[in-house]
Structure 1
Amino acid sequence: MKLNTDGSSVDTLGLAGGGGVVRDEQGNWVFGYARKIGSVNSLLAELWTLRDGLFLYLQAQVHALIVEMDAKALVDAFSNQTNSNVIISALMDDCRQLATQISQVRFRHVYREVNRCADHLAKLGCSMDVDFAVFSSPPVDIISFVEADWRGLYVNRLCPVAVSFV
Protein backbone atom coordinates (compact mmCIF):
# COMPACT_ATOMS: atom_id res chain seq x y z
CA MET A 1 0.00 0.00 0.00
CA LYS A 2 0.97 3.61 -0.33
CA LEU A 3 0.54 6.48 2.13
CA ASN A 4 0.74 10.07 0.89
CA THR A 5 0.88 12.73 3.59
CA ASP A 6 1.09 16.49 3.65
CA GLY A 7 1.06 19.28 6.20
CA SER A 8 -0.21 22.77 5.57
CA SER A 9 0.43 25.96 7.46
CA VAL A 10 -1.59 29.09 6.73
CA ASP A 11 0.81 31.81 7.87
CA THR A 12 -1.68 34.66 7.73
CA LEU A 13 -4.05 32.91 10.12
CA GLY A 14 -1.48 30.98 12.17
CA LEU A 15 -3.35 27.73 11.53
CA ALA A 16 -1.96 24.38 10.51
CA GLY A 17 -3.57 21.20 9.29
CA GLY A 18 -2.58 17.91 7.84
CA GLY A 19 -3.97 15.18 5.69
CA GLY A 20 -3.17 11.92 4.07
CA VAL A 21 -4.51 9.15 1.91
CA VAL A 22 -3.83 5.41 1.83
CA ARG A 23 -4.22 3.59 -1.47
CA ASP A 24 -3.94 -0.09 -2.29
CA GLU A 25 -1.57 -1.61 -4.86
CA GLN A 26 -3.99 -0.77 -7.71
CA GLY A 27 -4.19 2.87 -6.62
CA ASN A 28 -7.70 2.58 -5.17
CA TRP A 29 -8.69 4.74 -2.20
CA VAL A 30 -8.58 2.79 1.08
CA PHE A 31 -9.03 5.73 3.46
CA GLY A 32 -8.07 9.33 3.91
CA TYR A 33 -7.79 11.58 6.93
CA ALA A 34 -7.42 15.20 7.93
CA ARG A 35 -6.39 16.88 11.18
CA LYS A 36 -6.77 20.38 12.52
CA ILE A 37 -3.42 20.89 14.24
CA GLY A 38 -3.46 24.46 15.51
CA SER A 39 -0.61 26.93 15.45
CA VAL A 40 2.60 25.17 14.37
CA ASN A 41 5.05 25.48 11.50
CA SER A 42 4.77 23.39 8.36
CA LEU A 43 7.48 20.90 9.45
CA LEU A 44 5.60 20.03 12.62
CA ALA A 45 2.36 19.82 10.65
CA GLU A 46 4.06 17.33 8.30
CA LEU A 47 5.23 15.21 11.25
CA TRP A 48 1.82 15.20 12.98
CA THR A 49 0.24 14.10 9.73
CA LEU A 50 2.80 11.35 9.18
CA ARG A 51 2.27 10.10 12.73
CA ASP A 52 -1.50 9.94 12.16
CA GLY A 53 -1.04 8.06 8.88
CA LEU A 54 1.37 5.50 10.34
CA PHE A 55 -0.92 4.93 13.33
CA LEU A 56 -4.00 4.43 11.14
CA TYR A 57 -2.04 2.20 8.79
CA LEU A 58 -0.93 -0.04 11.67
CA GLN A 59 -4.55 -0.44 12.73
CA ALA A 60 -5.29 -1.82 9.25
CA GLN A 61 -2.73 -4.60 9.97
CA VAL A 62 -0.97 -4.54 6.62
CA HIS A 63 2.74 -5.33 6.45
CA ALA A 64 4.28 -3.29 3.63
CA LEU A 65 4.06 0.44 3.00
CA ILE A 66 5.52 3.14 0.78
CA VAL A 67 5.31 6.59 2.35
CA GLU A 68 5.39 9.49 -0.11
CA MET A 69 5.90 13.03 1.15
CA ASP A 70 6.79 16.33 -0.45
CA ALA A 71 8.79 17.32 2.66
CA LYS A 72 12.27 16.30 1.48
CA ALA A 73 13.87 17.24 4.82
CA LEU A 74 11.73 14.64 6.60
CA VAL A 75 12.36 11.96 4.00
CA ASP A 76 16.09 12.62 4.42
CA ALA A 77 15.74 12.49 8.22
CA PHE A 78 14.15 9.04 8.00
CA SER A 79 16.94 7.91 5.68
CA ASN A 80 19.64 9.18 8.06
CA GLN A 81 18.69 8.09 11.58
CA THR A 82 21.57 10.00 13.21
CA ASN A 83 20.14 13.47 12.55
CA SER A 84 18.52 14.97 15.62
CA ASN A 85 16.52 18.09 16.37
CA VAL A 86 15.39 18.78 19.93
CA ILE A 87 12.28 20.71 18.85
CA ILE A 88 10.83 17.84 16.81
CA SER A 89 12.58 14.87 18.42
CA ALA A 90 9.63 13.50 20.44
CA LEU A 91 7.29 13.59 17.46
CA MET A 92 10.02 12.22 15.17
CA ASP A 93 10.71 9.43 17.67
CA ASP A 94 6.98 8.53 17.66
CA CYS A 95 7.03 8.32 13.85
CA ARG A 96 10.20 6.22 13.83
CA GLN A 97 8.78 3.88 16.47
CA LEU A 98 5.55 3.44 14.51
CA ALA A 99 7.52 2.83 11.29
CA THR A 100 9.56 0.06 12.96
CA GLN A 101 6.32 -1.84 13.58
CA ILE A 102 5.76 -2.16 9.83
CA SER A 103 7.60 -5.11 8.27
CA GLN A 104 8.54 -3.27 5.08
CA VAL A 105 8.44 0.51 4.95
CA ARG A 106 10.10 2.88 2.51
CA PHE A 107 10.06 6.68 2.58
CA ARG A 108 10.12 8.46 -0.75
CA HIS A 109 10.20 12.13 -1.69
CA VAL A 110 7.67 13.25 -4.30
CA TYR A 111 6.96 16.68 -5.70
CA ARG A 112 3.88 18.61 -4.61
CA GLU A 113 2.21 17.96 -7.97
CA VAL A 114 2.15 14.22 -7.23
CA ASN A 115 0.82 14.79 -3.72
CA ARG A 116 -2.35 16.71 -4.64
CA CYS A 117 -4.86 14.54 -2.73
CA ALA A 118 -2.87 14.80 0.51
CA ASP A 119 -2.33 18.52 -0.11
CA HIS A 120 -6.08 19.14 -0.39
CA LEU A 121 -6.79 17.05 2.71
CA ALA A 122 -4.16 19.07 4.60
CA LYS A 123 -5.83 22.32 3.58
CA LEU A 124 -9.17 20.85 4.61
CA GLY A 125 -7.62 20.08 8.00
CA CYS A 126 -6.82 23.77 8.51
CA SER A 127 -10.47 24.76 8.19
CA MET A 128 -12.33 21.84 9.78
CA ASP A 129 -14.69 22.30 12.71
CA VAL A 130 -13.56 18.97 14.24
CA ASP A 131 -10.00 18.09 15.25
CA PHE A 132 -9.71 14.84 13.28
CA ALA A 133 -11.68 13.06 10.57
CA VAL A 134 -11.22 9.77 8.70
CA PHE A 135 -12.79 9.42 5.25
CA SER A 136 -13.79 5.98 3.98
CA SER A 137 -14.39 7.58 0.58
CA PRO A 138 -12.85 10.71 -0.95
CA PRO A 139 -14.40 14.07 -0.06
CA VAL A 140 -16.23 15.52 -3.06
CA ASP A 141 -13.73 18.31 -3.68
CA ILE A 142 -10.82 15.89 -4.28
CA ILE A 143 -12.52 13.21 -6.37
CA SER A 144 -11.03 14.62 -9.58
CA PHE A 145 -7.51 14.34 -8.10
CA VAL A 146 -8.13 10.76 -6.92
CA GLU A 147 -9.37 9.78 -10.38
CA ALA A 148 -6.42 11.48 -12.09
CA ASP A 149 -3.99 9.64 -9.80
CA TRP A 150 -5.77 6.34 -10.42
CA ARG A 151 -5.54 6.83 -14.19
CA GLY A 152 -1.85 7.67 -13.96
CA LEU A 153 -2.30 11.21 -15.26
CA TYR A 154 0.50 13.56 -14.42
CA VAL A 155 1.02 17.27 -14.01
CA ASN A 156 3.96 19.03 -15.57
CA ARG A 157 6.28 20.70 -13.11
CA LEU A 158 7.50 24.09 -14.22
CA CYS A 159 11.22 24.42 -13.72
CA PRO A 160 13.12 27.67 -13.94
CA VAL A 161 15.12 28.16 -17.10
CA ALA A 162 18.84 27.97 -16.54
CA VAL A 163 20.56 31.19 -17.47
CA SER A 164 24.23 31.21 -18.29
CA PHE A 165 26.27 34.36 -18.13
CA VAL A 166 29.16 34.44 -20.53
Structure 2
Amino acid sequence: MVKQISWDKPDPGWLKLNTDGSSKGLLGAAAGCGLIRDEGGNWVAGFSRKIGRIDSFVAEIWALRDGLQLCQQMNARAVMIELDAKSLVDVLNNSSYYNAVISPLLDDCKFLISQIPQVRVRHTYREANKCADRLANLGLSQSLDYIVHSNPPLELIPLIEADSLGSFCNRLCPGLVSFF
Protein backbone atom coordinates (compact mmCIF):
# COMPACT_ATOMS: atom_id res chain seq x y z
CA MET A 1 0.00 0.00 0.00
CA VAL A 2 1.34 3.47 -0.88
CA LYS A 3 0.85 6.23 1.71
CA GLN A 4 1.39 9.94 1.31
CA ILE A 5 3.72 10.95 4.15
CA SER A 6 4.04 14.54 5.33
CA TRP A 7 4.92 16.53 8.42
CA ASP A 8 1.73 17.72 10.11
CA LYS A 9 1.34 20.97 12.01
CA PRO A 10 0.47 20.60 15.69
CA ASP A 11 -2.97 21.51 17.00
CA PRO A 12 -3.63 25.16 17.93
CA GLY A 13 -1.88 26.02 21.19
CA TRP A 14 0.51 23.07 20.88
CA LEU A 15 4.18 22.89 19.95
CA LYS A 16 5.71 20.01 18.04
CA LEU A 17 9.08 18.54 18.97
CA ASN A 18 10.73 16.40 16.31
CA THR A 19 13.96 14.70 17.37
CA ASP A 20 16.43 12.39 15.69
CA GLY A 21 19.65 10.64 16.51
CA SER A 22 22.33 9.71 14.03
CA SER A 23 25.22 7.30 14.32
CA LYS A 24 27.76 6.43 11.67
CA GLY A 25 27.91 2.66 11.86
CA LEU A 26 27.75 0.50 14.96
CA LEU A 27 29.20 2.63 17.77
CA GLY A 28 30.31 5.29 15.31
CA ALA A 29 30.37 9.05 15.72
CA ALA A 30 26.92 10.12 16.86
CA ALA A 31 24.78 13.23 17.14
CA GLY A 32 21.31 14.04 18.35
CA CYS A 33 19.12 16.97 17.51
CA GLY A 34 15.65 18.31 17.51
CA LEU A 35 13.50 21.22 16.55
CA ILE A 36 10.38 22.79 17.98
CA ARG A 37 7.76 24.35 15.74
CA ASP A 38 4.48 26.10 16.45
CA GLU A 39 0.99 25.50 15.08
CA GLY A 40 1.88 27.45 11.92
CA GLY A 41 4.92 25.27 11.27
CA ASN A 42 7.25 28.12 12.23
CA TRP A 43 10.63 27.51 13.85
CA VAL A 44 10.57 28.16 17.60
CA ALA A 45 13.91 26.66 18.64
CA GLY A 46 16.27 23.82 17.85
CA PHE A 47 19.36 22.12 19.15
CA SER A 48 22.12 19.80 18.06
CA ARG A 49 24.50 17.73 20.16
CA LYS A 50 27.68 15.98 19.17
CA ILE A 51 27.57 12.91 21.39
CA GLY A 52 30.61 10.76 20.74
CA ARG A 53 30.67 7.08 19.85
CA ILE A 54 27.39 5.33 20.59
CA ASP A 55 24.75 3.41 18.70
CA SER A 56 21.80 5.11 17.02
CA PHE A 57 19.24 4.02 19.65
CA VAL A 58 21.17 5.76 22.44
CA ALA A 59 21.61 8.81 20.16
CA GLU A 60 17.81 8.87 19.76
CA ILE A 61 17.34 8.88 23.55
CA TRP A 62 19.91 11.69 24.00
CA ALA A 63 18.10 13.73 21.36
CA LEU A 64 14.74 13.22 23.04
CA ARG A 65 16.17 14.18 26.44
CA ASP A 66 17.73 17.35 25.08
CA GLY A 67 14.50 18.26 23.30
CA LEU A 68 12.44 17.74 26.43
CA GLN A 69 14.87 19.88 28.44
CA LEU A 70 14.52 22.66 25.86
CA CYS A 71 10.71 22.40 26.07
CA GLN A 72 10.93 22.63 29.85
CA GLN A 73 13.21 25.69 29.65
CA MET A 74 10.63 27.29 27.35
CA ASN A 75 7.88 26.42 29.83
CA ALA A 76 5.97 24.58 27.10
CA ARG A 77 2.48 23.56 28.22
CA ALA A 78 1.38 21.28 25.34
CA VAL A 79 3.88 19.32 23.24
CA MET A 80 3.43 16.77 20.48
CA ILE A 81 6.59 14.67 20.31
CA GLU A 82 7.36 12.84 17.09
CA LEU A 83 10.16 10.33 16.72
CA ASP A 84 11.11 8.22 13.74
CA ALA A 85 12.56 5.60 16.12
CA LYS A 86 9.54 3.35 16.68
CA SER A 87 11.56 1.25 19.13
CA LEU A 88 11.99 4.31 21.39
CA VAL A 89 8.28 5.13 21.22
CA ASP A 90 7.56 1.51 22.22
CA VAL A 91 10.04 1.70 25.13
CA LEU A 92 8.47 4.97 26.36
CA ASN A 93 5.06 3.32 26.35
CA ASN A 94 6.30 0.22 28.25
CA SER A 95 6.47 1.11 31.95
CA SER A 96 8.23 -2.17 32.82
CA TYR A 97 11.11 -1.74 30.34
CA TYR A 98 14.53 -1.79 32.00
CA ASN A 99 18.02 -1.69 30.54
CA ALA A 100 20.91 -0.82 32.86
CA VAL A 101 22.75 1.08 30.12
CA ILE A 102 19.96 3.38 28.96
CA SER A 103 17.58 3.48 31.93
CA PRO A 104 19.13 6.63 33.49
CA LEU A 105 18.57 8.56 30.24
CA LEU A 106 15.16 6.98 29.77
CA ASP A 107 14.18 7.85 33.34
CA ASP A 108 15.22 11.47 32.66
CA CYS A 109 12.98 11.49 29.59
CA LYS A 110 10.01 10.07 31.48
CA PHE A 111 10.49 12.60 34.29
CA LEU A 112 10.72 15.52 31.85
CA ILE A 113 7.59 14.31 30.04
CA SER A 114 5.76 14.21 33.38
CA GLN A 115 6.63 17.90 33.92
CA ILE A 116 4.80 19.04 30.77
CA PRO A 117 1.04 19.34 31.40
CA GLN A 118 -0.05 17.96 28.01
CA VAL A 119 2.14 15.58 26.01
CA ARG A 120 1.54 13.20 23.14
CA VAL A 121 4.29 10.89 21.90
CA ARG A 122 3.98 9.20 18.55
CA HIS A 123 6.01 7.53 15.88
CA THR A 124 6.40 9.21 12.53
CA TYR A 125 8.01 7.96 9.37
CA ARG A 126 11.49 9.16 8.50
CA GLU A 127 10.07 11.03 5.49
CA ALA A 128 8.06 13.26 7.87
CA ASN A 129 11.12 13.86 10.05
CA LYS A 130 13.45 15.28 7.37
CA CYS A 131 14.27 18.48 9.25
CA ALA A 132 15.42 16.63 12.37
CA ASP A 133 17.35 14.14 10.25
CA ARG A 134 19.18 16.93 8.40
CA LEU A 135 19.94 18.71 11.68
CA ALA A 136 21.34 15.48 13.19
CA ASN A 137 23.65 15.04 10.22
CA LEU A 138 24.83 18.63 10.62
CA GLY A 139 25.47 17.90 14.30
CA LEU A 140 27.94 15.17 13.39
CA SER A 141 30.34 17.76 11.99
CA GLN A 142 29.80 20.67 14.38
CA SER A 143 32.75 21.87 16.44
CA LEU A 144 30.86 22.51 19.69
CA ASP A 145 29.35 19.71 21.78
CA TYR A 146 25.94 21.38 22.15
CA ILE A 147 24.28 24.21 20.25
CA VAL A 148 20.87 25.81 20.74
CA HIS A 149 19.64 27.23 17.44
CA SER A 150 17.40 30.27 17.87
CA ASN A 151 17.06 30.36 14.08
CA PRO A 152 17.11 27.44 11.67
CA PRO A 153 20.39 26.66 9.95
CA LEU A 154 20.23 27.79 6.32
CA GLU A 155 20.24 24.18 5.08
CA LEU A 156 16.93 23.56 6.87
CA ILE A 157 14.94 26.54 5.59
CA PRO A 158 13.73 24.88 2.35
CA LEU A 159 12.70 21.75 4.29
CA ILE A 160 10.83 23.77 6.92
CA GLU A 161 9.00 25.69 4.20
CA ALA A 162 8.09 22.47 2.39
CA ASP A 163 6.75 20.99 5.64
CA SER A 164 4.66 24.10 6.33
CA LEU A 165 3.16 23.90 2.84
CA GLY A 166 2.16 20.27 3.37
CA SER A 167 4.60 18.72 0.91
CA PHE A 168 4.48 14.95 0.92
CA CYS A 169 6.26 11.96 -0.50
CA ASN A 170 4.98 8.50 -1.24
CA ARG A 171 6.04 5.57 0.90
CA LEU A 172 5.39 1.91 0.33
CA CYS A 173 3.88 0.61 3.58
CA PRO A 174 2.66 -2.79 4.67
CA GLY A 175 -1.06 -3.16 4.20
CA LEU A 176 -3.76 -5.73 4.02
CA VAL A 177 -3.15 -8.27 1.32
CA SER A 178 -6.10 -9.27 -0.77
CA PHE A 179 -6.09 -12.48 -2.81
CA PHE A 180 -8.93 -11.94 -5.29
Distance 1:81 1:49 in 2: 20
Larger helix proportion, structure 1 or 2? 1
Aligned pairs (5 A) from 1:47-126: 47-126=61-140
Give yes or no for contact 2:30–2:56 (8 Å, CA) kept in 1: yes
What corresponds to 1:21 in structure 2?
35
Give yes or no for contact 2:27–2:55 (8 Å, CA) kept in 1: no
What corresponds to 2:11 in structure 1?
none
**Structure 1 runs, 4 residues or longer, greater than 4 Å off:** 159-164
Give yes or no for contact 1:69–1:75 (8 Å, CA) kept in 2: yes
Q: Percent identity?
A: 54
TM-score normalised by structure 2 residue count: 0.86
Distance 1:73 1:7 in 2: 13
Distance 1:44 1:13 in 2: 10
What corresponds to 1:40 in structure 2?
54
Distance 2:116 2:127 in 1: 27
CA root-mean-square deviation: 1.9
Q: Which residues of structure 2 form unaligned runs of 5+?
A: 1-14
Give the residue type in structure 2 aligned to 1:72.
Answer: K
Give yes or no for contact 1:19–1:120 (8 Å, CA) kept in 2: no
Post-superposition offset of 1:79 = 1.5
Post-superposition offset of 1:127 = 0.9
Q: How many residues align?
A: 164
Q: Which residues of structure 1 form unaligned runs of 5+?
A: none
What corresponds to 1:134 in structure 2?
148
Give the residue type in structure 2 aligned to 1:73.
Answer: S
Post-superposition offset of 1:87 = 1.5
TM-score normalised by structure 1 residue count: 0.93
Distance 1:129 1:63 in 2: 33
Deviates more, 1:37-46 or 1:7-16: 7-16
Give the residue type in structure 2 aligned to 1:109.
Answer: H
Distance 1:100 1:153 in 2: 33
